[in-house]
Amino acid sequence: MPVGRLPIPFHAGREGPTSVLRGASSSLSEAFIRAWHDTLDLLVRPFHTRRWVKLSAVCLVLGGGAPTAAFNWMVGVLPGHFQLRSWALKAKAYGAEHSWLLIPSLILLLSSGLGLLYLRAQGRFILVDAVARKDIRIRRAWMWNRGVTHSYFRFLLGLLLVVGSVLGAMAIAALPYLEAGGSKPSWAFSLTVALLLGCVILVGTLSALAITLTDDFAVPMMYVERISVVAAWSELIRLIRKEPATFGLYLMVRVGLAILIGTAVLVLLFPALLAIFSGGVLLASVVMLSLRVAGAVWTWNAATLTLALVAATILSSVLLVALSVAGMPGQVFLQNFAIRFIAPRFPSLAYFLEAQAPVGFNSSLGAA
């Protein structure tokens, strides 16, 4: 029997454009309502502190629970008040004088990147498991999803390598034109810059779209069917071809919801983030002032460089934890929304969700 095609009747709209859009909006509204109630059931019906802590940790691995634009204000303020740019230049000069640090630093950076990427792959399946079962058990989900996680990890790693290779090739190809037009700008220089920026935007958009579709739809398919990412994508492509308007409308709604949730998180968290950042700046100022009063001077060496890195890590960790706790409900809802949208189109997932529902529960009517 083909993947996911269990005998659950599903009728896609086949009439006309108006009927198709009406059916798509109805499908989205139903998925939204179910996702809303499922999210409340998971988070506050009843409320469990340990569940919130675990879900927040998972969302921290998945990116902190907020868009990366959340840190733009910090990056813009930090150089002027904290002199991070000056510190970075001094640290770079210190590293240039001790070139033996280059290879260990590259190995550490590469290992950390691969480790975080694998944790992200595991975190996505742990979140899907928690949403589908309405409970989070990290150890159970980690062991159960190990095989499909490896497939998803290879997909993410391959995608990053492809994107990096494409962007690197474009930069190398454009470098002679940029160097030639740097001293004397011309229409060729302007055209090269415009094409380069357009290609970067296009590649970034396509990669973000691929990751979003994989996280929202392919991962739940892999989770319930124990299939590879390639098999899940082949089934997903079949579904998209069957209902292109519905999936297109979903993507627009999904982007709008992500922007609204990210904005709400930033608005609610801005005072807390500002207080955390101000506390870090105040602490650094006290340290520098104490050194000056004692007649000491801050000089860069292995000890002070390590201390600065530890301080920056602690500050970044506190900010990420705050973002993950505040943004966790939004991530849970978005994953719920995606699962509830794709479930009627992937019957084995629908059966799995029905099996997790409490006795006397009708998925179309709510609690009996």
Q: What is the mean pLDDT of each run of 10 residues along the chain (368 residues)?
A: 42 47 70 92 88 89 55 38 54 63 79 89 93 90 90 93 86 70 62 79 89 94 93 94 92 91 82 74 74 69 73 76 82 93 91 71 40
Please tell me the predicted confidence (pLDDT) of residue 90. 61
Query: Distance between terminal CA atoms of the chain?
Result: 33
Instruction: Please state the pTM of the whole predicted model.
Output: 0.73
Domain ranges of the chain: 17-358
- Measure the CA–CA gap between 315 and 303, rounded to whole angstroms: 18
Phi, psi for 362 (deg, rounded to 5):
-110, 120
User: What pLDDT sits at residue 102?
Assistant: 72
| Per-residue pLDDT, 124 | 94
Give SS3 for 366.
strand
Strands 366-367 and 361-362: what pairing? antiparallel
The angle formed by the CA atoms of residues 254, 2 and 133, to the nearest 5 degrees, is 50
- My answer on whether omega of the bond before 46 falls inside 30° of 0, hence cis, is yes
Under a CB-based contact definition with an 8 Å cutoff, are residues 125 and 138 in contact? no
**pLDDT value of position 70:** 35
Q: Which residues pair with 362 in a beta bridge?
A: 366
Q: What is the predicted pLDDT for the residue at 170?
A: 79
Between the alpha carbon of residue 323 and those of residues 36, 76, 160, 276, the distances in Å are 21, 18, 25, 12
Both structure tokens of 223:
């989770």
- At 13 the pLDDT is 40
Helix axis angle, 347-356 relative to 102-133, nearest 10°? 70
